[in-house]
Amino acid sequence: MEIGTLEYNHEDFTKERAGDEKLAIRFFKKARQNSEESAKHGRPIFTEEDYIQIMVPGDRTSTIVRPVGPQDLGRFHAQYEHWKKTNQEEQLLGTPLDAWGIMSLGQIEEYRYFGIRTIDQMAELRDDVCQKIMGATALKQKAIAFIALAKNEAPMRKVQEELDKRDLQISALQVAVDDQAKIIKQLQKAKAA
């Protein structure tokens, strides 16, 4: 190994890590001054670049904002691809707070300020964060109950979807049988005449 050369495993920086699913990740576009083009044109020239914001929900002091690098594309690949496909500002993995129906718009915005955008993130809030935000402990408990109830109801919803699909098929078959019965009657009338 030469002096000044550092060897490292590239995958250590690009693979998803334990706890990444609890982070609030947001990709967005930001204008950044291009110094080469600015010097060439003699005025500030900006280009739009992809940026990432990484935040621990509820902790505004641990926010990272930087241009998207190869390590981010590997580590947060699913969120990045979702953002690119939908061109949305926020990547939500989970149920958004505004779909919950128990929080006011003011509460939703307050929690969004702290990087809490989903019920899933609310359920995972640390206790020290809950103590800093008024009413957070009660909302965390409701979020935990909501997620548990949704998990328990998931198999029943799947069965209901299958029953609805079957009912649609039966309806289509009944229409086909009725059509065939009409055709048979018409053929019998034509044969009798």
pLDDT digit string, tens, across residues 121-155 = 899 899 888 888 888 999 999 999 988 887 787 67
Report pLDDT digits (tens) over 3-39.
555 554 545 445 566 667 788 888 888 877 778 876 7
> Which residues contact residue 29 at a Cβ distance below 8 angstroms, ignoring those fewer than 6 apart?
48, 49, 50, 51
- The pLDDT value given to residue 2: 52
Look at the pTM and tell me if it is higher than 0.85: no
DSSP per-residue codes, 102-128: SS-HHHHHHHHHTT--BHHHHHT--HH
Per the listing, tokens 């979020």 go with: 143
105 pLDDT above the threshold of 60? yes
pLDDT the model gives residue 73? 86
Residue 125: count other Cβ atoms within 10 Å of its Cβ: 25
| Banded model confidence at residue 179, pLDDT cuts 50, 70, 90 | very high
pLDDT confidence bin for 173, thresholds 50/70/90: very high
pLDDT of amino acid 10: 47
59-67 and 46-56 as β-strands: parallel, antiparallel, unpaired? antiparallel
Identify the bridge partners of residue 54 per DSSP, sorted by sequence position.
25, 64
- In the structure, what pLDDT confidence band is assigned to residue 59 with cuts at 50, 70 and 90? confident
Q: Which two tokens stand for residue 100?
A: 């919950």
The confidence score (pLDDT) of residue 166 equals: 93
The predicted pLDDT at position 168 comes to 92
Tokens of 101: 């129906």
The C-alpha torsion from 168 through 170 and 171 to 174, rounded to 10°, is: 160
How many C-alpha atoms does 15 have within 13 Å on its Cβ side?
A: 6
Domain map (residue ranges) of the chain: 1-91, 94-168
Bridge partners, residue 65, by sequence: 53
Whether the Cβ atoms of residue 53 and residue 63 lie closer than 8 Å to each other: yes
Per-residue confidence at 85, pLDDT binned at 50, 70, 90? confident
Look at 8 and 158; give whichever has higher pLDDT: 158
Using DSSP's 3-state secondary structure scheme, residue 25 falls into strand
**Chain segment 60-75, per-residue pLDDT in tens:** 788 899 999 998 888 8
Q: What is the mean pLDDT of the chain?
A: 81
- Under the banding of pLDDT at 50, 70 and 90, the label for residue 112 is confident
**Beta-strand runs (E) in the chain:** 24-33, 46-56, 59-67
What is the token pair recorded at 144? 């935990």
3-state helix, strand, coil in the chain (%, to 5): 55, 15, 25
